[in-house]
């Protein structure tokens, strides 16, 4: 079934080369985790200049496996930005840890340094900053955590290819960075993720825990002629990345820089056009030279009903989204999470005003112009 002709909020860019790569794996008869996954890990490491890459089936699994390795428990306290997808926080919840919600920076919607500092004053074991919209979190977060002995696990779901003053994001100064290759991401496997780390022992352990914790996976047994799965020393999870998905990721990686260059042009056009609309601000407020340009969020003027804007744009064939409802506005977190001292005023202020606009590598400049033209008209009519 074909999709209706409209401007999608996001869409994967799948080339003929991508399709051939997947078909080639299908033709081998080996579609589970094997040589394609291993090759994808090597190529990701080379692209990023990373020490170790372990591919898994989602960014959520990447976060979960790292928190498992840290052996968090009911007495652990994990700082998470309130402005994020539930997937950032749920791995800590599943460990039985206490989630402490931290406010966001209004210019980036990333974890706010001052709010995190107040949370740390009450005791934090691990912080999980999010590189929101592909903009790298400021190194001040790392410095603060380092000064107080707080471990950092990076949620880099939006940020493959992003860079800061230390170069491409690759788990420097943290336990590791968790990337996403979900269907909506700049590089997609359909589903998938990766842990990028400087810790060789962690990487070695994760290669076992991503497949239940068994010593040997099916491909290792195939190439060695071993018929047993080996020992189980630590219970793991089912989180391996199959070759059929890794093949798509490898093909996407080979053309990644071309797509990113187009996203940069689209983002620059958005920033120019949005600056012409009265009352609109945008996230990120300031252009970050190292951004992965994953997302554009418009912040509507106070008092403008967001649902009317959404309906107006939808009536003109333009899809929009919400990234995100702050976690403390969701029933489970409202009841079970702890809020950092000082509250979450920025999240509360922006909760009804943020609106994600279409951005993906298949968009054209004239479509950006059309989105902004109709957004301006929608605000005027609201």
Do 290 and 229 belong together in one domain?
no
* Number of Cβ atoms within 10 Å of the Cβ of 287: 12
Q: Which residues contact 31 (CB under 8 A, 6 or more apart)?
A: 25, 242, 243, 244
pLDDT at 3: 45
Q: What is the DSSP letter of 159?
A: -
Do 340 and 368 belong together in one domain?
yes
Do 203 and 318 belong together in one domain?
no
From the centroid of its chain, how far is CA 341?
Answer: 26
- Residue 300 near residue 355, CB atoms below 8 Å: yes
Which run of H or of E encompasses 79? strand 77-81
- Has residue 121 been placed in a domain? no
pLDDT digits (tens, 9 = 90+) for 316-375: 999 999 999 999 999 999 999 999 999 999 999 999 999 999 999 999 999 999 999 999
- Has residue 210 been placed in a domain? yes
Q: How far apart are CA 284 and CA 267, in angstroms?
A: 11
pLDDT at 234: 87
Longest dimension (CA), the chain: 69
pLDDT digits (tens, 9 = 90+) for 213-251: 888 776 677 777 777 778 888 899 999 999 999 999 999
Of 232, 254, 276, which closes a domain? 254
pTM: 0.95
Q: What range does the domain containing 217 cover? A: 16-73+135-254
- Has residue 270 been placed in a domain? yes
- Residue 58 near residue 191, CB atoms below 8 Å: yes
pLDDT-flagged residues of the chain (< 50): 1-4
CATH (domain of 281) = 3.90.1150.10
- Residue 347 near residue 258, CB atoms below 8 Å: no
Task: List helix spans (H) across 104-237.
Answer: 113-121, 139-147, 200-209, 218-224
Q: How far apart are CA 304 and CA 73, in angstroms?
A: 43
Of 254, 286, 320, which closes a domain? 254
DSSP assignment string, 219-264: HHHHHHT--S---BSS---B-PPPHHHHHHHHHHHHTHHHHHHHHH
- Has residue 228 been placed in a domain? yes
pLDDT at 4: 46
Which two tokens mark 98? 């206490």
How many distinct structural domains can be found in the chain? 2
CATH (domain of 216) = 3.40.640.10
DSSP assignment string, 34-60: SHHHHHHHHHHHHHHT-SEEEEES-HH
């Amino acid at each position: 079934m074909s999709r209706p002709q409209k401007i999608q909020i996001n869409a994967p860019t799948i080339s003929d080369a991508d399709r051939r790569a997947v078909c080639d794996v299908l033709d081998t008869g080996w579609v589970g985790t094997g040589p394609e996954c291993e090759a994808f890990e090597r190529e990701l490491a080379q692209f990023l200049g990373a020490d170790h890459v372990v591919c898994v089936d989602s960014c959520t699994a990447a976060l979960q496996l790292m928190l498992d390795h840290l052996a968090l428990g009911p007495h652990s306290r994990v700082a998470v930005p309130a402005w994020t997808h539930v997937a950032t926080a749920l791995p800590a919840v599943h460990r039985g840890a206490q989630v402490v919600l931290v406010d966001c920076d209004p210019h980036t919607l990333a974890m706010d340094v001052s709010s995190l500092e107040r949370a740390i004053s009450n005791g934090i074991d691990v912080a999980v900053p999010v590189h929101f919209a592909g903009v790298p979190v400021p190194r001040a977060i790392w410095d603060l955590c380092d000064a107080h002995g707080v471990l950092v696990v990076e949620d880099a779901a939006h940020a493959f290819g992003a860079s800061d003053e230390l170069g491409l994001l690759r788990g420097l100064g943290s336990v590791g960075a968790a990337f996403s290759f979900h269907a909506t991401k700049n590089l997609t496997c359909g589903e998938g993720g990766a842990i990028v780390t400087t810790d060789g022992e962690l990487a070695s352990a994760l290669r076992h825990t991503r497949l239940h914790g068994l010593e040997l996976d099916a491909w290792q047994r195939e190439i060695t002629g071993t018929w047993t799965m080996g020992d189980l020393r630590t219970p793991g999870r089912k989180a391996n990345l199959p070759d059929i998905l890794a093949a798509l990721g490898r093909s996407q990686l080979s053309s990644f820089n071309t797509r990113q260059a187009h996203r940069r042009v689209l983002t620059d056009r958005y920033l120019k056009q949005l600056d012409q609309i009265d009352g609109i601000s945008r996230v990120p407020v300031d252009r970050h030279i190292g951004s992965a340009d994953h997302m554009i969020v418009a912040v509507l003027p106070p008092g403008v009903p967001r649902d009317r804007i959404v309906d107006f744009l939808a009536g003109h064939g333009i899809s929009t989204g919400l990234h995100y409802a702050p976690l403390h506005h969701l029933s489970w977190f409202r009841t079970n999470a702890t809020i950092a001292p000082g509250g979450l005023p920025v999240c509360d202020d922006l909760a009804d005003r943020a609106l994600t606009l279409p951005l993906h590598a298949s968009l054209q400049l004239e479509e950006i112009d059309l989105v902004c033209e109709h957004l301006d008209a929608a605000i005027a009519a609201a």
